[in-house]
Each structure stands twice: as structure tokens, then as C-alpha cells.
Amino acid sequence: SGKQLLSRFHGCLVGAVLGDCLGSPFEGSDCVTYDEVERISLNMGKSTRSSRHRFTDDTAMTRSLAASLIEHNGFNAKDMATRFTDEFFRDSARGYGYNVTTVFQAWKDETYDDVFQPAREQFQGSGSYGNGGAMRIAPVPLFGYNFTEAKLQELAEQTTLLTHTHPDALSGAILQSFAIHQALHETSEVLDTQKFLDGLIEKMNKVEDNSEGVSRRPKRPSEEEPHPYCFKLEKIKEFLTKDEADTRDVVYELGTDVSALGSVPTAVFAFLWCHKERKGLEKWSPFEQTIIHSISLGGDTDTIASMAGAIAGAYYGIEAIPWEWQSQCEGVADAKKYAEDILKIVQSNVTAE
Ligand code: F2R
Ligand code: MG
Ligand code: MG
Ligand code: MG
């Protein structure tokens, strides 16, 4: 029904904002205890609420991406680039990636003929493999709610290529789009997590068969794999067969860094892992567990919690997100408005067909 869909659209974009806001105090730290997350991010044990949590670059770019899709009823490269740039120069203290700002500067200087050119030149032509494409992608699977797999992939690629051209960055943004899309369409109350992963593996196999074989720096075994995302999705399947997972193993196998390959699968893992009640998190709901557990893994906490929050919000809906958390985070009301505007377009495009 329409109402249920609105709840999922709200949940997705609000979940993304919350993960970013609540995760950002820990960005770059090692593993974090659940107690610390509660004390610092959730302001537990305080009688009065302290200052609200600010959102970071993840949400700033998600908002620009959403606004551009809404304004143009689809992808407009120049407009999206302009919105990213205007927002960056309006408020650059949001913790942006160190290299993506070069792209914003080039767009501002207009020293290019083609809006996609500055991103291609990053890192001596190999392109950024950062998670910046994936971290802002949530509006794409909402806008593409009725899209085919191929059309959804295309829109994810277009929006990512503006800043990130490395195959790992593109595949990461595509995986995050597929994960949100599957979560939005998932109707069973008890999720079959292995089936959810099989769906992603089937789609990512096609993506990785066709992606350019750019050499990756050898670091973890998975990065030498021809299908590194499928390799990690298989690892997630293994983790999910166990009752407990050592955080160090999760971090080693999946990663918690600013690369797309070292963070998008981790977000998918956090969502699926937290569908069941987990040790130490018994008092929290599955959505709440997802955010807290994502942050506890450390590393790129704002981004991993934001991506996991978007998937979880798309599945559980806005009712699952505590008002107390919503009221502590900057940008929640705007996220709801973007979700409503995108849903209106989705519904009017159906009627128009
Ligand atoms: N930048 C951060 N966090 C660090 C500082 C935040 C701090 N709290 C503060 O307030 O200052 N977080 C944000 O960045 C990530 C998204 O990054 P994005 O948009 O992908 O940027 P970029 O610059 O393209 O890539 C990030 C870094 O990855 C490395 N890298 C990427 N491609 C590479 C390549 N081909 N070769 C070598 N290195 C590559 C570089 O170190 C890039 O700087 C999110 O976490 C967001 O929250
Ligand atoms: Mg950030
Ligand atoms: Mg290949
Ligand atoms: Mg981050």
C-alpha cells in the first residue's frame, strides 16, 4: 500500500541521516564498545539532551543528489555537479574525502569541457575507489523503485562517475543500490538472510563479469579476486551461519575503511547480522542494533552506519526508528521531505505509463 511504501521511503533516507550523524563522532577510531556508542552517540545517562548531532559529507551529498533527481525527474550531470559544488563551497567543514575536493575545485574553475573529466583524472587516471559514490546513493534506489536491474545500475553508475571512476567505487555504489532496492521490495517479516545475499550475489556476478579489470593494490586476499564483491558477499553468508562473530574477524574479512570495497559489504553485513537479536544488544530493536553494531566496528563509522541505516530503514520503515534518535540529528525533517518528493515522482511516473 501507498502508506507502507512512504514509511519505507522515509525510513531509508532517515536511516541514512541517523547513521551518519550518530556514527561521525567515532570516524577513524578502532572498534568501539556498545557502551561507548550509547554514551557518546545516544547521549545515554544524561538528563538533558546535549547539542544535536551534525550530519557530514555523506548526508550533504545525498541531499544534493536527491534534490537534483527531483528537480530534473532523473539524472542531469551538470546540475548534480553544480549542487555538489555549491554545497561544498557553502559549507566545506563536513569532513569530505581528501581527494574529492579537487573535483569540486575543478568544477568551480570550469577548466573542463566535460563534467566527468575531473573524476577521470584522479589518482593518475585510475579514479577514486573511495566509498563516496555509495555513501550518497540512497535516493537512487528510491527513485528507481520500479526500475529494472539494468536501469537501476545505470543510474547508480551515472551519479557515481561524477566523482569516482574506479570499478570498485562503481560496483560498491551499485551493490548499495541493489541492497536498498531489495530491502524496499522485501515483504517477509522474517528475512531469509541467505536468500537476500543470493539475490545480491546473482546481480553482482553480472556487474563484476562486465567491469573493467583495473589492477587493485594487493592488500587483502579478496582484493585479488576477479569478483571481489561476490567474494565478500560469500564471506557474509559464512558469518551468518554462526551465532557469534568476532569483531576483529569481521573487520579483517570485510573491512571498515574509506574504500568502497572495504565498507559497502560491511554495511550489508551489519543490516543482515542485526536482523536477529545479538548478544549485548538485547534491549535494542533490529534497526537500533544495526546502527549501534555498525558503529562498534570502528573505522569509517559514519559512512558504514549510514549505508546500513539506509538499508535497514528501507526494510523496517520509519516506525522502527525511535523518535528520540530522530530528534537528536540534524537534517531528519529534510530527509523526510526528499523521500516524499521522490515517492510522488515514482507514483506519477507509474500513472503516466
Ligand atoms: N574524509 C572522511 N573522513 C576523514 C576525515 C574526517 C574528519 N572527521 C574531518 O572532519 O575532517 N570521510 C568522508 O570521506 C569518505 C568518502 O570519501 P570519498 O568521497 O570517496 O573521497 P575520495 O577523496 O575520493 O576518497 C577517499 C580516500 O580514499 C583514498 N583513495 C581513493 N581512491 C584511491 C586510489 N585510486 N589510490 C589511492 N588512494 C585512493 C584516498 O586516501 C582518498 O582521499 C567517507 O568516509 C566520508 O565520510
Ligand atoms: Mg562523512
Ligand atoms: Mg571481469
Ligand atoms: Mg565516513
Q: What is the rounded CA–CA span in Å between residue 92 and residue 226?
A: 37
Phi, psi of 329, rounded to the nearest 5 degrees: -115, 140
Q: What is the mean pLDDT of each run of 10 residues along the chain (353 residues)?
A: 84 98 96 93 65 93 98 97 97 97 95 91 96 99 98 98 97 98 96 98 95 53 78 98 96 98 98 97 97 98 98 98 95 98 94 68
* DSSP classification of residue 329: B
First to last CA, the chain: 19
> Nearest to residue 27, comparing CAs of 107, 75, 94?
94
Predicted pLDDT at 135:
98
- The atom number, within ligand 1, closest to the CA of 258 reads 45
pLDDT at 45 (0 to 100): 58
pLDDT number for residue 47: 45
CA of 223 to the centre of ligand 2 (A): 24
Q: Which of 261, 251, 309 is nearest to 22 (CA)?
A: 309
C-alpha cell at 90: 557553502
> What value does the CA radius of gyration of the chain take, rounded to a whole number of Å?
19
Determine if ligand 1 sits within 6 Å of the CB of residue 165: no
Choice from 98, 216, 261, 302 to test ligand 1 binding pocket (greatest atom count within 8 A of CB): 98
Q: Is 130 in the pocket of ligand 1 (CB under 6 A)?
A: yes
Overall pTM > 0.90: yes
Ligand 1 pocket check for 123: Cβ under 6 Å: yes
| Residue 78 cell numbers, joined | 551538470
Atom of ligand 1 nearest to the CA of 129: 32
Q: Is 80:67 a contact under the CB 8 Å cutoff?
A: no
Q: How far is CA 15 from the centre of its chain?
A: 10
Distance CA 342, CA 353 (A): 17
Q: Which of 53, 56, 59 is nearest to 324 (CA)?
A: 53
Determine the Cα angle at 247 with ends 243 and 248, to 5°: 125
Nearest CA to ligand 1 atom 23: 99
- For residues 223 and 233, give the distance between their C-alpha atoms in angstroms, rounded to a whole number: 13
Our answer on whether the CB atom of 132 is closer than 6 Å to any ligand 1 atom is yes
DSSP for 32-83, written as a single string: --HHHIIIIIS-TT-SS--SPBPP-HHHHHHHHHHHHHHHHTS--HHHHHHH
Gap from CA of 301 to ligand 4 centroid (Å): 6
Atom of ligand 1 nearest to the CA of 259: 28
Which pLDDT score is estimated for 109? 94
What pairs with residue 329 in β-bridges?
53
